[in-house]
Amino acid sequence: MKISSKDNPIIKNLIRLYQNKKERDSSGLFIVEGYNLVEEAYKAGIIERIYSINNNEIYDNYVQITPELLKKITDTVTPEGIIAVCKKKRGFIKGDKILYLDRLQDPGNIGTILRSALSFNFDTIILDECVDLYNPKVIRSSQGSIFNLNFVNDSLNNLKEEGYYIIGTEMFGTPLTEFKNTNKKIVLILGNEGNGVRKEYLELSDINLTIPMNKMESLNVSIAGSILMYELNK
């Protein structure tokens, strides 16, 4: 099967899915683009259908489309020639290291944080009023880590009742160099790029950490989060 018309309803639906969070939410689907991400999604077993500008017989359930149509679907300047429609996974199991993201809005920051989370064993992620996890820019910057993490919905109050040690982050908290982590079940909160962690979450935390620095007042949240996760994973 090959699609060459921009008026084809499949193409119109792919454009909506790529551009519109409500469409992704209602359908439970999202789009990944590029050979590496399609391959990672294929390994994860979440692909519903592949659309490629080439005759891609190495994958099941693919449809060939023209390069012109692919450019209409995605916003990538130089698309690699392949996209896949994937099914969202539902997470249930909470691990011993949970990363709680509070109102993060930059897709690149979230993608980078997800890569660090996977690297440092924070395999359960909670997003609280953040930019859409399935935003194409988040997916690209995550470089496939999104397929190997567990995303759940829960509140800090519940996690505290379940015995998790809650670690907040703020400008003038306990220096990270003075903190000795002896807790098996922890939650690390990273806050909004401009406003940090909201006040009520800092008050709920068991401890609020800061990264000691020379000459700089603050770090980008993805850099700070990576440092904290590395140290807490020791």
Buried b / exposed e over 48-85, threshold 16 CB at 10 Å, is ebbbbbeebeeeeebeebeeebbeebbeeeebbbbbbb
Q: Tokens 């496939």 belong to which residue? A: 144
Q: How far apart are CA 133 and CA 110, in angstroms?
A: 8
Residue 181: pLDDT band (50, 70, 90) is: confident
Angle at CA of residue 18, ends 15 and 19, nearest 5°: 85
pLDDT of residue 61: 83
Instruction: Tell me the pLDDT of the chain averaged across its residues.
Output: 93
Residue 57: pLDDT band (50, 70, 90) is: low
Angle at CA of residue 16, ends 55 and 49, nearest 5°: 30
pLDDT per position as a tens digit, 76-120: 877 789 999 999 988 877 899 999 999 999 999 999 999 999 999
pLDDT per position as a tens digit, 16-46: 999 999 999 999 999 999 999 999 999 999 9
